[in-house]
Structure 1
């Protein structure tokens, strides 16, 4: 298995006033056995993964609609069932290479497009590749099967938050209050 490490720098220069304290360091997150080898997304990362999937689904559908609207000047028009089904399949089968894990406040978090939260550390190490792309793709395909393309597209028409609420936020979803309590206990 090949894992890639990506060093993320928040600044190109050492801020003034640090003097001799200008040394920055970062270490890669220490992954446990489940995080390294399991075929499934670890429970404590499922909310982040769901939010990433909801973002990617919303973004892919929005781009497809923008292309449709650009070629059709008649105004707002919906994608056909075959179009949104194809877009949803492509959104799940993408390579997910921009996602990985890093430690934020001594807690492992999935990071990537659509997942920025609060203040970013000035320097951090992100572990990409390995099992993360397959796990995200599997979860995405599972959501398509669980909710169906029609319901997901209907949520998309209400906005990004509605897609996230559908996939992640109901009482059984990975971002529900009960799931949050479990993540805090870890």
Structure 2
């Protein structure tokens, strides 16, 4: 009887809270694309690190880039061609493999022309939601984790911390499903 009353109390509590509660379930088997979305976000964070490292070049770690150099490096990240990514199966789950994903393929990698576009769109979305390019650069410069900031936060920044992250950025574009040529020219924010 006590168990039943406890269950009823919990049910009433949940029903009065309603849909305002966002319960994070990190079980990657709930959405078959959850692992792919996290892998994609990790790849984007990796690319931002690469471009900031390249732009930083020979500067001492105590020095920082000029704001225009930071903006240029961040935008160049999203303008990259995003080649070398594909899908493989690891432990029965589809995963994205390529630079920065950390995924080692167990089987042959399936290359799909949609990945450069998806990665670029995700990069644009994450950059557009970041307060400014300097925020990303300062996180990188402080040796904090860009992956932690971009992928394990809340909302759009939760690709690795939510099993219901939402649709891929850009999925609603008319030309997304055409299978036609994608020339890596996209809208800027």
TM-score normalised by the chain length of structure 1 = 0.63
Q: Report the number of matched residues.
A: 132
Please name the residue that 2:5 is paired with: none
Gaps of 5+ in 1: 1-34, 36-41
C-alpha contact 1:97 1:128 (8 A) present in aligned 2: no
- Bigger fraction of residues in strand: 1
1:85-104 equivalence runs, <5 A: 85-104=71-90
C-alpha contact 2:159 2:165 (8 A) present in aligned 1: no
CA–CA separation in structure 1 for the residues paired with 2:164 and 2:108? 25
1:90 positional shift: 0.8
Going from structure 1 to structure 2, the CA distance change for 1:57 and 1:181 (only over 3 Å counts) comes to closer
Going from structure 1 to structure 2, the CA distance change for 1:174 and 1:181 (only over 3 Å counts) comes to closer
Please name the residue that 2:56 is paired with: 65
1:139 positional shift: 0.5
1:117-156 equivalence runs, <5 A: 117=103, 121=106, 124-147=107-130, 148-156=132-140
Please name the residue that 1:113 is paired with: 99
TM-score normalised by the chain length of structure 2 = 0.62
Runs ≥4 residues deviating over 4 A? none
Specify which of 41, 47, 58 is matched with residue 50 of structure 1: 41
CA–CA separation in structure 2 for the residues paired with 1:165 and 1:75? 21
What secondary structure does 1:103 align onto? strand
Going from structure 1 to structure 2, the CA distance change for 1:101 and 1:140 (only over 3 Å counts) comes to same
RMSD: 2.5
1:75 positional shift: 6.7
1:158 positional shift: 2.0
C-alpha contact 2:51 2:73 (8 A) present in aligned 1: yes
Larger relative CO (CA 8 A, sep 6+): 1 or 2? 1
CA–CA separation in structure 2 for the residues paired with 1:181 and 1:141? 16
C-alpha contact 2:34 2:165 (8 A) present in aligned 1: no
C-alpha contact 2:61 2:141 (8 A) present in aligned 1: no
Please name the residue that 2:173 is paired with: none
1:76 positional shift: 3.4
Gaps of 5+ in 2: 1-31, 167-189
Going from structure 1 to structure 2, the CA distance change for 1:181 and 1:134 (only over 3 Å counts) comes to closer
